[in-house]
């Protein structure tokens, strides 16, 4: 099977031969600046005060008051239950966002509003540097790079405040706040995350958490409410820059008690397994309408194949490309939903590449999937953490049987027969 033929580096241009990009694990992530930025959502509150749920409660301050304990997170699904013999698995769909910064273009609240309208949850992988003022950048000590260096931009003060407001709203509306780490160093150079040791990953994570937990000290702001969660307990997983460095990240993730990692690339639409006891939840290869190869389920990879890495291609291409990228997400959903019910993982960025067509296409796909749910289908739009809550209570033999289904493979005899007796199966997820 061929995969996406090209993908992007952190700064936008890296061409690879056909099929090489997904295998190489490169699915670039953009830099937010005054013209790029974004949002997420689900639950109650209009976001005017970071609102919804516990918006009026100050909670118990943690540390300098940048974060606080406000009790159980609102808008969470009920207690997960194991599948009964012969029961059809739900179709899980996880929309996730890399960077999760809001820089004034309204994308973060746009997708929070969308999720709220449809009772959905998402995962936002917050870059720690997006809460650190540029004047304090020398506080950041990136492994194998100069102090204060970053391959994504530091945000202006107004955009840090907007990011805080939207992250607060997101959590109160039931979304997960994961991590996209800090400086986003990609490629093959010595400073790339590709070469970081487990100890260096531990330093990066410690700093990413500190920038979230100590934004009040670092900014000096006293007029904004705390983030309403304990980030040490909230943080259950992340996605690495450009999908690089997972092998050395995992020992540290296990040490820190993380439950999943979403950094693999080139994954298939099959039921997941664990690596080092941590759920491996990769971006997946999905059909690319009109092309003979498949593409990773992320906006960067759509762009790389459509506009040859250009983020400002001629506008006459936009309608066709918008339709193609929306069609890819929808085809990926339909293939899983109609066959093996493998969870579907989608990653995106808050950006306006090629006229914003990728934001429009992911919204179109989201609405298509939400309509299936609203028509009564057992489709669940959840966060990564909510998904692993469910998969962790399933019987090992059931998961092992689900893993025998290949991409687009329907269960022999239907779900009732396929999962009727799984006692003889064994699990490879330990």
Predicted confidence pLDDT, tens digits, the chain (430 residues) = 333 333 343 333 222 223 334 333 345 554 444 333 333 333 333 333 333 345 445 799 999 999 999 999 999 999 999 999 999 999 999 999 999 999 999 999 999 999 999 999 999 999 999 999 999 999 999 999 999 999 999 999 999 999 999 999 999 999 999 999 999 999 999 999 999 999 999 999 999 999 999 999 999 999 999 999 999 999 999 999 999 999 999 999 999 999 999 999 889 999 999 999 999 999 999 999 999 999 999 999 999 999 998 999 999 999 999 999 999 999 999 999 999 999 999 999 999 999 999 999 999 999 999 999 999 999 999 999 999 999 999 999 999 999 999 999 999 999 999 999 876 544 444 4
Residue 267 DSSP class: B
Name, in order, each residue with C-beta under 8 angstroms of 368's C-beta and a sequence gap of 6 or more: 326, 330, 333
Residue 344 DSSP class: E
CB burial of residue 72 (10 Å; 0-12, 13-18, 19+): exposed
Q: CA-CA distance, 168 to 227, in Å (whole number)?
A: 5
The pLDDT assigned to 265 comes to 85
299, 362 Cβ separation under 8 angstroms:
yes
Q: CA-CA distance, 274 to 281, in Å (whole number)?
A: 9
The pLDDT assigned to 2 comes to 35
Contacts 24+ apart (CB under 8 A), 401-406: 401/425, 402/89, 402/271, 402/340, 402/341, 402/342, 403/270, 403/271, 403/273, 403/428, 405/270, 405/271, 405/339, 405/340, 405/342, 406/268, 406/270, 406/340
pTM of the model: 0.89
Domains with residue ranges and CATH for the chain: 20-52+59-418 (3.20.20.370)
């Amino acid at each position: 099977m061929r995969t996406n033929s090209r993908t992007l580096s952190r700064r936008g241009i890296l061409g690879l031969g056909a099929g090489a990009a997904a295998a190489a694990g490169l699915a670039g992530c953009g830099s937010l600046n005054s013209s790029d930025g974004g949002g997420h959502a689900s639950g109650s509150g209009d976001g005017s005060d970071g609102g919804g749920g516990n918006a009026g409660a100050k909670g118990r301050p943690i540390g300098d008051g940048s974060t606080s304990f406000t009790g159980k997170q609102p808008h969470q699904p009920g207690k997960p239950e194991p599948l009964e013999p012969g029961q059809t698995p739900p179709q899980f769909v996880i929309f996730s966002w890399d960077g999760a910064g809001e820089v004034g273009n309204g994308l973060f609240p746009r997708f929070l509003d969308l999720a709220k309208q449809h009772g959905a949850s998402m995962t936002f992988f917050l870059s720690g540097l997006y809460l650190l003022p540029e004047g304090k950048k020398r506080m950041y000590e990136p492994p194998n790079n100069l102090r204060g260096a970053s391959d994504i931009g530091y945000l202006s003060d107004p955009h840090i405040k907007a990011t805080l407001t939207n992250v607060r709203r997101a959590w109160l509306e039931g979304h997960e706040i994961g991590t996209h780490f800090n400086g986003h160093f990609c490629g093959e150079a010595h400073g790339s995350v590709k070469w970081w040791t487990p100890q260096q990953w531990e330093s990066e994570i410690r700093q990413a958490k500190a920038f979230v937990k100590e934004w009040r000290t670092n900014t000096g702001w006293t007029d904004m409410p705390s983030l309403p969660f304990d980030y040490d307990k909230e943080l259950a997983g992340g996605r690495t820059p450009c999908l690089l460095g997972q092998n050395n990240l995992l020992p540290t993730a296990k040490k820190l008690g993380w439950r999943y990692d979403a950094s693999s690339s080139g994954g298939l639409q099959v039921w997941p397994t664990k690596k080092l006891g941590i759920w491996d939840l990769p971006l997946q290869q999905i059909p690319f309408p009109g092309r003979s190869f498949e593409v990773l389920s992320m906006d960067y990879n759509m762009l790389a194949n459509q506009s040859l890495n250009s983020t400002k291609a001629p506008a006459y291409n936009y309608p066709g490309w918008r339709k193609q990228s929306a069609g890819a997400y929808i085809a990926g959903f339909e293939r899983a939903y109609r066959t093996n019910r493998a969870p579907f993982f989608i990653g995106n960025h808050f950006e306006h590449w090629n006229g914003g067509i990728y934001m429009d296409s992911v919204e179109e796909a989201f609405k298509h999937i939400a309509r299936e749910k609203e028509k009564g289908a057992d489709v669940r739009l959840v966060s990564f953490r909510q998904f692993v809550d469910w998969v962790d209570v399933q019987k090992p033999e059931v998961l092992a049987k689900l893993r025998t289904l290949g991409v687009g493979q329907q269960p022999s005899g239907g779900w009732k027969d396929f999962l009727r007796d799984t006692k003889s199966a064994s699990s490879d997820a330990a």
